Amino acid sequence: MDNYLSHRWPAHADERPLPMPPKTGKPRRDVLRAVLLVMGILALIALLVLIGFLVIRLILLVQIASSPRPAPSAAAPAYNSQQPSGWTPEDLPWADPDPAVRLALDTSEGTAMNASSIYERVLPGVVSVTAALRGGYSTGTGFIVESSGYVLTNYHIIDEGTALEVMLLSDSSIHPARVVGFDEEFDLAVLKIDGSGLPVLPLGDSGALSVGEQVYAVGNPMGDLYGSMTEGIVSALDREGNDIPNSLGMIQTSAALNSGNSGGPLLNSRGQVVGIVSAKITGMQNDTVIEGLGLAIPTTDLLPFVNHILATGESWRPSIGIKCVVASADGRTGIEVREVTADAAYQAGLRVGDLIVAANGTETPTLPALRRILYAAGVDGDVTCTVLRGGEELEIALTLIDTLGQESTP
């Protein structure tokens, strides 16, 4: 590299030693002039570099401000091409449901483990899920929940698929998979592969999580970085809103999640699955890149739907049959009834303006809190609501109905 600040003598200069100037104790004017010239050149170069940096930064900011901002969205599978129109779920391979299969939470306290021990324990039960599409394929993650080959994953991985494969990370063996059922809104799919004695991941109680608790995600980012593990904390619980692509009340985590992690397990310090990795919030807001906002579906909230799919092949929506909002009255926060949409709820005595402050003895300050109780009770289950009406507290008992596909919430 040329160094334009170095000084070289001319090639054919007089070879005799140059006479030394007399020492006067004062610097020669030409030396001082050369030093000042060099300093000036350096200052000019630094100024030009600074101006160039500022111009480039201004151009980038203008481009960012003028470009459309991506809305927060569900984490995509590692690859998913545009599909031709006309696809229906019937194009997927299907398996029969089995009412004899029923999952339960692992309520044992267990012992906290370090990250290496957790990884060693759960990796055999983590799988890669690949869906063949009409114009490509998509890949994600899943995990085994029953030793005969039942796998949980995200619906958006298999959406518009025509064939499915599951690869066991324990031995890289590939197995054809079939769909037992799915819930598109909750981004849940239950798959079945043939097998016996397969390693199973225990389902933990996501309701016992607390903000700040350590959690771990194991999955296949980019679709082929098999068995990658990341760690973080529970950043928040019961996340919901327009930017959250799920109404269950999501777990927010700082664990790094990338395309291909979808459908993988979110684990607590005892190696129990407390969530299914489903989405991350990405994009720009006020010229700031959004990052570190991963979302997982709480295991406890999903369990009633998983068991219903295992038994029937279909999902459901246990509901009171109302439209409602969070509100406060008489110093208490609950769910205010804005409209009664089901005859059963009206006949039970529920009215517009009632504030539901508890259900089955548990307080309901948020919509996820109320839904959690209803989903645990199930369709045709009985729920007793504690409501405030005109300053009085009433108990109203009712039977839940199925509102899948309807707008009533909950």
Asked if CATH classification 3.40.50.620 holds for the domain at 318-402, the reply, yes or no, is: no
Q: Tell me the C-alpha distance between 220 and 16, whole Å.
A: 74
Average of per-residue pLDDT across 44-68: 63
The per-residue pLDDT for range 111-147, each reduced to its tens digit, is: 899 999 999 999 999 999 999 998 888 999 999 999 9
Nearest CA-CA partner of 304 in 402, 231, 227, 193: 402
More confident residue, 115 or 283: 115
- Its pTM surpasses 0.95: no
Identify the CA nearest to 127 among candidates 139, 115, 117: 139
Q: How confident is the model at residue 3 (pLDDT cuts 50, 70, 90)?
A: very low
CATH 2.40.10.120 residue spans of the chain: 69-315
Does 304 score more than 80 pLDDT? yes
Q: Which of 138, 156, 159, 228 is catalytic?
A: 156
Q: Is 363 helix (H, G, I), strand (E, B) or coil?
A: strand
**Cα dist. 145→157, 211, 301, 405 in Å?**
18, 26, 16, 28
Q: What is the largest CA-CA distance in the chain?
A: 117
Could you tell me which CATH class the domain 69-315 is placed in?
A: mainly beta
Q: Is 7 a catalytic residue?
A: no
Indicate whether 27 pLDDT > 80: no
Domain with CATH 2.30.42.10 in the chain: 318-402
Beta strand extents in 40-125 (DSSP E only): 73-74
> What is the predicted pLDDT for the residue at 39?
79
Phi and psi for 339 in degrees, rounded to 5? Answer: -160, 135
How would residue 24 be classed by pLDDT, with cut points 50, 70 and 90? very low
Full 3-state SS string of 182-219: EECCCCEEEEECCCCCCCCCCECCHHHCCCCCEEEEEE
User: Does residue 401 register a pLDDT over 50?
Assistant: yes
- Catalytic-residue membership of 187: yes
Q: Which residues contact 378 (CB under 8 A, 6 or more apart)?
A: 304, 308, 316, 318, 400
Over residues 13-25, mean pLDDT: 42
- Of residues 206, 228, 235, 262, which has the active-site annotation? 262
Residue 164 contacts residue 131 (beta carbons within 8 Å): yes
Catalytic residue among 159, 183, 187, 354: 187
Average pLDDT of span 313-320: 94
Contact indicator for 175, 188 with CB cutoff of 8 Å: no
Contact at 8 Å (CB) between 193 and 284?
no
Mean pLDDT of the chain: 83
Residue 310: pLDDT band with limits 50, 70, 90: very high
CB under 8 Å to 308, separation ≥6 — which residues?
A: 314, 315, 316, 378
Structure tokens at 110: 């267990």
With 80 as the cut, is the pLDDT of residue 406 above it?
Answer: no
Please state the rounded mean pLDDT for residues 199-210. Answer: 95
- Residue owning tokens 């600040």: 5
Is 84 a residue whose pLDDT tops 90?
no
Q: Is 210 a catalytic residue?
A: no
